[in-house]
């Protein structure tokens, strides 16, 4: 599904995922799991936890999402950055129907007590500074070893290797997440997909400098650095 706000501005699907996650948590007894893919904003995890749900990161891909959802009877929904959203509450069937998802989004917005759509989005999932998805050229035969080398370059940070490597950066004082870096191999092109997101522009700039220092010796990331 795709959406625009009241001013015609495009809304990235992971912001819609955060909005829906906040709405569905607590609606069904025994179901509190929400699944999202590795390319999603950290806003998604934050919205799920704030609502009292359990976040679960999964591999990117339509078929992978459906499989993970089918394996977890306690899941309320699964969704990915591409806009595929699989609702599994209210007796819905766990497949991604754009018409149904649009109706759910309109329904929850109708309960926002006069807030505009963008105001409700900004409350739960504000736009965070990000590089967006960047395609970094990488020969097919080098993909796996390159991703592994990147993982090793960030061994001193927490990371997920569900799909490539997603490095988590936390505030040293509070422990709160301040940003992340993803590097995963494309299944269809000779590229690595990379993305960096941060809580503000200053942190994003600092993370990109660190990534340049650690990753540039492994692979050319000029496209990521801009």
pLDDT at 114: 86
Query: Where would I find the H helices in the chain?
Result: 13-24, 42-51, 62-71, 98-109, 117-124, 143-153, 201-215, 222-225
- When pLDDT is cut at 50, 70 and 90, the band that residue 113 belongs to is confident
pLDDT at 187: 87
pLDDT at 31: 95
Is residue 112 over pLDDT 90? no
Looking at the DSSP assignment, which residues form a beta bridge with residue 182? 166, 195
Q: Are 184 and 164 in contact (CB under 8 A)?
A: yes
pLDDT, average across residues 64-86: 95
Q: Are 94 and 70 in contact (CB under 8 A)?
A: yes
Q: Which domains does the chain show, CATH number per domain?
A: 3-124 (3.40.120.10), 134-225 (3.30.310.50)
- In angstroms, the CA 196 to CA 137 distance is 17
Nearest partner of 118 among 3, 2, 1, judged by Cα: 3
- In angstroms, the CA 39 to CA 196 distance is 10
pLDDT at 93: 87
Q: What angle do CA 95, 101, 102 make, to 5 degrees?
A: 150
- When pLDDT is cut at 50, 70 and 90, the band that residue 69 belongs to is very high
Residue that wins the pLDDT comparison between 164 and 226: 164
User: In this predicted model, what pLDDT tens digit does every residue of 169-216 receive, in sequence order?
Assistant: 999 999 999 999 999 999 899 999 999 999 999 999 999 999 999 999
- In angstroms, the CA 56 to CA 33 distance is 7
User: In this predicted model, what pLDDT tens digit does every residue of 128-158 receive, in sequence order?
Assistant: 999 999 999 999 999 999 999 999 999 999 9
Q: What are the C-alpha distances in Å from 165 to residues 51, 70, 158, 185, 194?
A: 27, 24, 10, 9, 10
User: In this predicted model, what pLDDT tens digit does every residue of 8-47 receive, in sequence order?
Assistant: 999 999 999 999 999 999 989 999 999 999 999 999 999 9
Tell me the CB-side half-sphere exposure of residue 119, using CA atoms within 13 A. Answer: 8
């Amino acid at each position: 599904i795709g959406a625009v706000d009241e001013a015609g501005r495009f809304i990235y699907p992971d912001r819609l995922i955060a909005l829906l996650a906040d709405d569905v948590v607590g609606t069904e007894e025994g179901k509190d799991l929400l699944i999202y893919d590795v390319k999603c904003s950290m806003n998604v995890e934050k919205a799920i936890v704030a609502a009292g749900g359990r976040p679960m990161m999964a591999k990117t891909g339509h078929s992978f999402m459906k499989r993970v959802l089918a394996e977890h009877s306690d899941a309320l929904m699964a969704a990915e950055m591409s806009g595929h959203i699989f609702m599994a509450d209210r007796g819905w069937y766990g497949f991604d129907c754009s018409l149904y998802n649009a109706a759910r989004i309109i329904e929850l917005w109708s309960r926002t007590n006069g807030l505009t759509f963008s105001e409700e989005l900004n409350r739960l999932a504000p736009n965070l500074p990000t590089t967006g998805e960047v395609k970094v050229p990488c020969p097919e035969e080098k993909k796996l070893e390159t991703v592994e080398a990147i993982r090793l370059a960030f061994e001193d940070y927490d990371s997920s290797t569900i799909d490539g490597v997603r490095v988590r950066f936390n505030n040293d004082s509070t422990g709160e997440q301040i940003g992340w870096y993803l590097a995963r191999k494309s299944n269809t092109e000779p590229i690595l997909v990379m993305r960096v997101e941060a809580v503000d522009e200053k942190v994003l700039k600092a993370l990109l400098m660190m990534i340049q220092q650690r990753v540039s010796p492994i692979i050319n990331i000029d496209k990521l650095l801009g």
